[in-house]
Amino acid sequence: MTFKKSSYYTTVAKAKDQVPGFREAFSRFEERLVLDQCSKSTFTNYSRNLSHLALHFGRVPHAVTIEEINAYLYRLTVHDNLSVSFFKHTVFALRFWFRLFEMDAQALQLPVIKKAETLPTVLSKEECKAIFAAPRSLKHRFLLAFAYAGGLRMNELRMLKIVDVDLQRKQIHIQQGKGKKDRYVILADLLASRFQKYLEEVKPQVYLFEGQTPGEVMGERSIQYIINEAVKKTGIQKDISMHTLRHSFATHLLEDGVDIYSIQRLLGHSDIRTTIVYLHVAQVIPKVAHSPLDSLYGLKR
């Protein structure tokens, strides 16, 4: 199931106009999402999917039985080619909605979303270098290298301002990353040495990587297009997204001997278990245990 760009507005507006009680209930739902500081994408996905369900049944979501919801999800999954993400967002949105209306029992009866135990796709160091060299544009080359060098998430890269880059301390200030947390990551010497040239040639005004309009952030689709085009030029066959650069950053640090707790801090993971997954993909050569006295005097390395 696919939606056009305007489908969110159309679906929510229709539900408000056509489903009795939905406008008032949705206002309460919207207020709770804002107070919980949910992301814009979460708000959009939850709102669209709940509106879709409300329109299907002609009732507010909390007036729909669990049996009806299960039948609805089954039909969309089996007969209408429902995407996995649509299924998940619908279930998560319904849980949020039921708990908002003090219907915890119904929330617990919704389908369990199983987390797929898959390992991340990781690029070799040579593949990374090939991707960074592929774009003709300095802006695109710098963007890809910057994303990898800091292990940045897509939105962290998009929202990065020029003033967040500290050339003196060789640090990048990530403001309000995932979980509304600030952190600092290392600014690579290579990027620091070419930073002024980038500013002089590309001339960004506010954000380090701006879209067509000066002073405005670059869109996610534009950034994904940049890496897709770069990968095409290299001939690499792996399934690659911007997040692949973040996975590669963490894996390469492990292979370079950086400890897992330092990598956790650089990635901004709140749970070490999220970081530990990279131990399964990193090609780390185990070292034989020895006395530190030997390494102290250069007998062991």
In tens, the pLDDT along 8-42 reads: 568 899 999 999 999 999 999 999 988 887 888 88
Domains detected in the chain? 7-108 (1.10.150), 125-239+263-270 (1.10.443.10)
Strand duo 165-166 + 171-174: pairing: antiparallel
The one catalytic residue among 14, 16, 129, 243: 243
Is 243 one of the catalytic residues?
yes
Is 169 one of the catalytic residues?
no
Q: Which residue has the higher pLDDT, 232 or 108?
A: 232
Is 246 one of the catalytic residues?
yes
Confidence grade of residue 289 (pLDDT, cut at 50, 70, 90): low
Segment 151-169 mean pLDDT = 94
Is 269 one of the catalytic residues?
yes
Confidence grade of residue 55 (pLDDT, cut at 50, 70, 90): very high
Is 62 one of the catalytic residues?
no
Is 287 one of the catalytic residues?
no
The one catalytic residue among 153, 158, 247, 252: 153
Total count of residues recorded for the chain: 301
How do residues 93-141 score in pLDDT, each as one tens digit? 999 999 999 998 888 888 877 666 678 889 999 999 999 999 999 999 9
Picking from 101-105, 136-140, 175-179, 186-190, which range would have the lowest pLDDT averaged per residue? 175-179
Report whether pLDDT(43) > 70: yes
The one catalytic residue among 158, 246, 247, 252: 246
Whether the predicted model's global pTM rises above the 0.85 cut: no
Q: Which residue has the higher pLDDT, 75 or 51?
A: 51
The one catalytic residue among 23, 32, 194, 269: 269
The one catalytic residue among 14, 59, 62, 178: 178
Check residue 286 and give its pLDDT.
61
Check residue 300 and give its pLDDT.
61
Confidence grade of residue 1 (pLDDT, cut at 50, 70, 90): very low
Average pLDDT, the chain: 87
